[in-house]
Amino acid sequence: MTTVAIELPDEVFSALRRSPPEFAQQMRLAAAIHWYAQGKISQEKAALIAGLDRADFLAALAAEQIDVFEVDLDSLQRELERV
């Protein structure tokens, strides 16, 4: 596993009332949600980045009101025509 180190001012942790490990975990989750919502990574990769299993990542998406399933009108129309 690769480790990435970033430097942050100490004030960041007190302002957010998070310990450095809690902050790092939230940062991983925020990045994973952001990249997933942009369509840049899959749910599986996003869960891996966030350090969660897929079910917990889906729960995090729901908590942030991020759509898990996207259906465009063309795809929906094609599905309806098949029925």
Decide: pTM greater than 0.85.
no
Asked whether residue 70 carries a pLDDT value surpassing 80, the answer given is no
Mean pLDDT of 75-83: 82
Q: Burial letters for 13-33: b for 16+ Cβ neighbours within 10 Å, e otherwise? A: eeeeeeeeeeeeeeebbeebb
Give ∠ CA 56-57-59 in degrees, rounded to 5. Answer: 65
Residue 16 neighbours by CB under 8 Å, 6+ apart: 23
Mean pLDDT of 27-56: 96
Asked whether residue 71 carries a pLDDT value surpassing 70, the answer given is no
**Token pair of 31, please?**
């990045």
pLDDT in tens, 51-61: 999 999 999 99
